[in-house]
Amino acid sequence: MHPVLKLVTQRVALGILLLLAVSVLIFAGTQILPGDVAQAILGQQATPQALANLRAQMGLNQPAYIRYFQWLFGVLHGDLGKSLANGQDIATEIGGRLANTLFLAGVSAAIIAPLSVLLGLVSALYEGRWPDKVLSAITLATVSLPEFLLGYILMFFLAVEYPIAPSVSTVFDSMSFWEKLHAVTLPVMVLVLVSVGHTMRMTRAAILNVMQSAYIETAELKGLRPFRIIWRHAFPNAISPIVNVLMVDLAYLVVGVVVTEVVFVYPGMGQYLVDHVAKRDVPVVQAVGLIFAAVYIGLNVVADVVSILANPRLRHPK
């Protein structure tokens, strides 16, 4: 087997094993929660016979390991179970909300990726001068602000004082692309502001680290312009850590949007999770948690694979 193909296969296999381990933790975490699911559904006035019947119907009278393997078998066949709150199929309910979350994450990523790399290049080009200091101060301030606080600040100024975007980001299937884009203006701005700083600062650090190499000094002695040296010689060799942090940011955009979706009442996976946590809907919590874990692990595996393909030194660790 080719060394590159072998390394990629190992990364994918490790990702699958990690996801399997996470599924065990998710299932175990929901099982050790205090309280009785049957009691929560039927209420305090339920008779012991009614509680026993409901537990048998939900399979709660079986050992935990049997319930785990039944749940895992269903997940592998596309069956995420049924919601305890409304009896609806979870996979069907999640479909539309996952599409909404991916739309919000995709629009944000389309802005974050080029903007953060460009700002990182500019910051590295003007290291120690006022553009570098201004960019570092602004991005550090936005990264330090909690999402909910930043969301309410933007909501006050851009939806109340100067109404250019809606404060409630509701989207429907019947809306056009541009209508949806207008609806998600404020949550996209929040996600961009809290995420762009990480990638920008990583890009700057990676490029400055490469700029200390001997071949960069040779390019400078040849009289090449600073921006050309950074773009053509330093940036390609600094791409590996930049890709890694970009993938982490993309994973955050899908997995970490819970607070942003709740603030703007956006009908995505985060809002769906919060609604059903309040109802103690364990199957929904398990399903959403597993999907979030799969997205996060999958994007990190992609980052590893891209790093291996982009950096020849990683193909030969010895």
In a domain, 11, yes or no: no
Characterise 81 by phi-psi region: left (phi > 0), alpha (psi -120 to 50), beta (else): left
In a domain, 190, yes or no: yes
pLDDT (0 to 100) of residue 1:
65
CB 186 within 8 A of CB 171: no
In a domain, 28, yes or no: no
CB 300 within 8 A of CB 247: yes
In a domain, 65, yes or no: no
The 8 Å CB, 24+ separation contacts for 231-235 are: 231/121, 234/124, 234/207, 234/210, 235/121, 235/207
In a domain, 176, yes or no: yes
37 residue type, one letter: V
Distance CA 287, CA 273 (A): 9
pLDDT (0 to 100) of residue 157:
92
pLDDT (0 to 100) of residue 30:
79
Distance CA 57, CA 37 (A): 12
In a domain, 107, yes or no: yes
In a domain, 230, yes or no: yes
Per the structure, the count of domains in the chain is: 1
pTM across the whole model: 0.81
In a domain, 86, yes or no: no
For position 232, which CATH number holds?
1.10.3720.10
Query: Could you list the mean pLDDT of each consecutive 10-residue stretch along the chain, which spans 318 residues?
Result: 76 90 88 68 73 73 82 86 79 86 90 88 84 88 87 91 88 86 92 87 82 78 78 74 78 82 89 81 87 88 77 60
Distance CA 165, CA 157 (A): 10
Distance CA 242, CA 112 (A): 12
Which residue range forms the structural domain that includes residue 217?
99-296
CB 131 within 8 A of CB 276: no
